[in-house]
Structure formats: structure tokens, C-alpha cells
């Protein structure tokens, strides 16, 4: 069985709907808590798939969160070696940094459900499964597109929403792994951020999750499966 390790930054932002999708694709999944785990361990470099999850910190805050430096180094080494990496939100920002791009505060919070606009390359990629599907946005930082990366998706506020790095790197600024039950933990864990974001409330987020998440779970699992199939074909 193939091995996947998810780097987790806070307990409530986990693989959620991606866990059964990965199992269906033949992956045995485990977690490494980045803040207290050994992100420099050799076994993390060698796993079949590394998933870098989200979290409420900045990808540039190594001074406050020293584990970010070896985490970025791990991502950089895996990408350089052709080892698959999937980044979600903070994970995408860490991938951008590992590839030499700038990550910085966007100046606004993009929180809520809305589709992304796929680029031409995005429409020819595994992200085609997300065409017209509302995804969950939850970020206050953004990143420049790394040199050599292919931009796959955008929103009006955030031009760099997703990028591909060759065949083995996929970075998504937005969330496609979330389910309504899993998000109940986010509403508690991110209560201060929600309260400070204009026009955002738990009630609205919960209602939108009930409306949009079922389609996203199906589309997100299909997107993940298509990307993993592509890795198998190119391997």
C-alpha cells in the first residue's frame, strides 16, 4: 500500500473529506503535527505523497514558529526530487515559499464559498472537476506565482489561487477537502477571525456549507483521484 503523510498545523484542520478519498486510491494515511513532529525526519522525504494542510499562521513567520523553516526545506527537497506534494491553503503558501516566491498579507480576508475561475491550463488539469463548483476560501495571505509554475485558478480578489509545479506539485489556496461536520470544529477554532471579518458569520458559513459542500466533496474527491492517477501515469 502507498503511504501518505499529512502535515497538520492545528488539530481541527485535517484531511476531512480527503481521508476516504485517499484510502479509496490505495493510500495508507498518517499525520505529522508540524509544530511538535520531526518534519526533518528522512521518512517524510520518502513517502509516496506529502499533503501540507492549512492553519492560521503565516508562511513567513519563522521567528515565531521555528518549525516552518525545516518544513519549507522538506517541501523544497521533495519538489526538487520529483516527490509528490499537495498543498492546501497554508500548505500552498509554504509550497510557494519553497519554490522561491513571496508570501505576504493580502490586505483583506477572503472567507466564504465561491467558485474559482480556471485558466486554460486549469481546465486541462485535474482541477477541471471543480468547474463551476463553489469551494471554501479562508485566507488572509496571498503569494506570488513561483517562477516556472503554471497558474491554474483565480478569483477576482486573488489572482493566484492554484498552481501546478511540473506533474508532482499541486498547490490550492482554497479548500476542497472540507465537509459540514468537519467545519463545525473550524467555527470554534477560528471564532475570533470570523468575528473580525466583515460580512462573515458562523450562521452564514454553516448555511453555505450545507448548500455547497455536498457537491464539493464529490468534485474534490474526483479532482484528487484524477491528480493521483496522473502521478501514476507519469511515474
Nearest to 150 by CA among 175, 127, 130: 127
Residues with a catalytic annotation lie at 89, 175, 177
CATH topology of domain 2-234: Rossmann fold (3.40.50)
| DSSP state, residue 115 | P
Residue spans of the domains in the chain: they are: 2-234
User: pLDDT tens track of the chain, all 235 residues?
Assistant: 899 999 999 999 999 999 999 999 999 999 999 999 888 777 898 899 999 999 999 999 999 999 999 999 999 999 999 999 999 999 999 999 999 999 999 999 999 999 999 999 999 999 999 999 999 999 999 999 999 999 999 999 999 999 999 999 999 999 999 999 999 999 999 999 999 988 999 999 999 999 999 999 999 999 999 999 999 776 5
Can you give the C-alpha Rg of the chain in angstroms?
16
CB atoms within 10 A of CB 33: 14
DSSP state letters, 160-215: -SEEEETTTEEEESSBSS--HHHHHHHHHHTHHHHHHSTT--HHHHHHHHHHHHHH
Angular region, 53: left φ>0, alpha ψ -120 to 50, beta rest: beta
Amino acid at each position: 500500500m502507498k503511504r501518505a503523510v499529512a502535515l497538520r498545523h492545528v488539530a481541527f484542520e485535517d484531511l476531512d473529506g480527503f481521508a476516504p478519498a485517499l484510502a479509496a486510491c490505495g493510500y495508507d494515511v498518517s499525520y505529522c503535527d508540524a509544530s511538535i513532529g520531526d518534519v526533518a525526519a528522512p521518512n517524510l522525504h520518502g513517502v509516496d505523497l506529502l499533503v501540507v494542510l492549512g492553519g492560521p499562521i503565516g508562511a513567513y513567520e519563522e521567528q515565531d514558529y521555528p518549525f516552518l523553516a525545516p518544513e519549507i526545506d522538506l517541501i523544497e527537497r521533495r519538489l526538487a526530487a520529483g516527490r509528490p506534494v499537495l498543498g492546501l491553503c497554508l500548505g500552498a503558501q509554504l509550497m510557494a515559499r519553497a519554490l522561491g516566491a513571496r508570501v505576504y498579507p493580502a490586505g483583506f480576508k477572503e472567507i466564504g464559498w465561491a467558485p474559482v475561475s480556471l485558466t486554460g491550463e486549469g481546465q486541462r488539469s485535474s482541477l477541471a472537476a471543480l468547474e463551476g463548483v463553489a469551494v471554501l476560501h479562508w485566507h488572509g495571505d496571498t503569494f506570488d506565482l513561483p517562477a516556472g509554475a503554471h497558474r491554474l485558478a483565480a478569483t477576482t480578489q486573488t489572482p493566484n489561487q492554484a498552481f501546478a509545479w511540473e506533474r508532482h506539485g499541486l498547490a490550492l489556496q482554497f479548500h476542497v477537502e472540507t465537509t459540514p461536520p468537519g467545519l463545525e470544529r473550524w467555527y470554534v477554532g477560528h471564532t475570533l477571525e470570523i468575528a473580525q471579518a466583515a460580512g462573515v458569520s458562523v450562521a452564514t458559513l454553516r448555511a453555505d456549507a450545507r448548500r455547497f459542500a455536498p457537491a464539493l466533496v464529490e468534485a474534490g474527491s474526483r479532482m484528487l483521484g484524477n491528480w493521483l492517477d496522473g502521478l501514476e501515469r507519469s511515474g
